[in-house]
Amino acid sequence: MTARIEPIIGRYLHLELEGRDHRIYFEEAGDGIPLLCLHTAGSDARQFRALMSDEAITSHYRVIAFDMPWHGKSSPPAGWEREEYQLSTSSYTDMIMSFARALDLDQPVVMGCSIGGRIVLSLALEHAGELGALIGLQCGAYVQRYYDSSWLNRPDVHGGEVCAAIVSGLIAPQSPEEHRWETLWHYMQGGPGVFTGDLHFYQVEGDIRGRIGAIDTTQCPLFMLTGEYDYSCAPADTQAAAALIDGARVVIMKGLAHFPMSENPELFRTYLLPVLDEIRGASKA
Amino acid sequence: MIERLPELVNGDAALVRRGRYFTDVFMIEVGDVQYLVHVRQGRIEEVERGPFVMRSWRFAVRASADIWDRFWQKLPDPGYHDIFALLHKGEIAFDGDLQPMMANLLYVKAVIAAPRMLAAGKAS
């Protein structure tokens, strides 16, 4: 096997969020329209590594993904040891927009998955004028809590093992073993309580059903792509949200589940490329 | 299906290793039929078929025969492919002491899904 270096570059950004210094790790590859990617709860930006090595994407898009604070190679803020991490709509929105402004991203396309798919709906409401387009993967307005997330962070259950085991069913049965287990590995590496803290936004605080009817897709196009095997955000959940939003475009992805970009990148690109081509075509017009 | 768990699991060294800290008895209920699965350090020692009178077990996983039939397909339909997908649909119940189940969840999920190998023709 020949050694090779991937085109992905990683750097650290110091950014003030909610009045505190944060050290944020981000990766990028490609040139063109900024495509800011948001990872799922309890994971990190490595989920987008296949997109960043896909020339069909990077020849037209500057693909950027950051690890949220507490995730991946981004640190929790100083003093974290005395607090409980909990993501909220406002802290998540502030993080994304602050990051985009810090990097001077001009009209970025924002693509988020799961919690990232949810926050895309908030961005559509509050920041449509600053964004080129929005892509929600596994994007729904609400999820009913269906298991007790306190199991994810307690001393008599290994946190890495159980977080991976909880999400293992959110990968489609057909997805390649190599990608399935890499996706799970990211969950195994999450810090204690971080996945649970993200789920606070996803399952409790971030219910946005009552607001999404005001989204104006003529100001910022919204695409919603959902894998058929996802039960955390099932196709019916995406379709229910889209039914409230004029002009929202829905694609149900066969053979994929909750982690399309990392569980089966080869299949996912067949759904994503037409969307990216359409966004690029519209941006030229 | 369930009776064949010893051969399905014990022949998979990686799965046995994943369950190496799991030694316990748990119940799988398929409609009206109860099974007790005896596990020692990741190996399935025995599967007993009920009915049982006054037997102890650590945790139980219960669903209808129809649901298990859909779950054990070679390629299950969406929503029938994972026990937590069934939980989301309200089609399965977990009860008893769930700590050993949650502490060994990747292992327990793989054991419960092992009969799919029969549908897939990977075990004869």
- pLDDT tens, position by position, A115-173: 999 999 999 999 999 999 999 999 999 998 899 999 999 999 999 999 999 999 999 99
Q: Domain locations in chain B?
A: 2-64+92-115
Q: How far is CA A168 from the centre of its chain?
A: 17
> Which chain B residues are closer than 8 Å to A173 by Cβ?
75-76, 81
Q: What is the pLDDT of residue A64?
A: 98
Interface contact flag, A157 B102, Cβ < 8 Å: yes
Q: What is the pLDDT of residue A206?
A: 92
> Which chain B residues are closer than 8 Å to A161 by Cβ?
103, 105-106
Q: What is the pLDDT of residue B123?
A: 61
Interface size, chain A vs chain B, as Cβ–Cβ contacts under 8 Å: 55
Q: What percentage of chain A's residues is helix, strand, coil (to nearest 5)?
A: 40, 20, 40
Q: What is the average pLDDT across A232-261?
A: 97
CA distances from B74 to B23, B67, B115, B118 (A): 28, 14, 9, 8
Q: Is A145 on the interface with B (CB under 8 A)?
A: no
Q: What is the average pLDDT across A12-40?
A: 98
Tokens 């800290």 found at: B21
Interface contact flag, B98 A151, Cβ < 8 Å: yes
Distance CA A122, CA A131 (A): 12
Choose from B17, B20, B58, B84 for mutation: most chain A CBs within 10 A: B84
Q: What is the pLDDT of residue B13?
A: 98
Q: Is A147 on the interface with B (CB under 8 A)?
A: yes
CATH class of the region A9-284: alpha beta
Instruction: Tell me the percentage of chain A whose pLDDT exceeds 70.
Output: 99
Do A175 and B115 touch, CB atoms closer than 8 A?
Answer: no
Q: What is the average pLDDT across A51-74?
A: 98
pLDDT band at A284 (very low <50, low <70, confident <90, very high): low
Interface contact flag, A232 B88, Cβ < 8 Å: yes
Do A208 and A234 touch, CB atoms closer than 8 A?
Answer: no
> Which chain B residues are closer than 8 Å to A252 by Cβ?
none
Q: What is the pLDDT of residue A285?
A: 57
Q: What is the pLDDT of residue A275?
A: 98
Which has the closest alpha carbon to B107: A162, A171, A190? A162
CATH class of the region B2-64+92-115: alpha beta
pLDDT of A192 strictly over 90: yes
Q: Domain locations in chain A?
A: 9-284
Q: Report angle CA A12, A108, A171 to the nearest 5 degrees.
A: 75
Interface contact flag, A169 B105, Cβ < 8 Å: no
Name the residue among B76, B81, B87 with its Cβ closest to that of A147: B87
Q: What is the average pLDDT across A10-22?
A: 97
pLDDT band at A85 (very low <50, low <70, confident <90, very high): very high
Q: What is the pLDDT of residue A154?
A: 97
**What number of helices (H) and strands (E) belong to chain B?**
7, 5
Q: What is the pLDDT of residue B119?
A: 87
Q: Is A232 on the interface with B (CB under 8 A)?
A: yes
Do A257 and A175 touch, CB atoms closer than 8 A?
Answer: yes
Residues belonging to chain B: 124
Q: What is the pLDDT of residue B121?
A: 79
pLDDT of A48 strictly over 80: yes
Q: What is the average pLDDT across A9-38?
A: 98
Distance CA B16, CA B36 (A): 18
Distance CA B124, CA B119 (A): 10
Mean pLDDT of the residues in chain A: 97
Positions of chain B with pLDDT under 50: none
Q: What is the pLDDT of residue B120?
A: 80
Name the residue among B84, B102, B103 with its Cβ closest to that of A169: B84
Q: Is the ipTM of this complex over 0.90?
A: yes
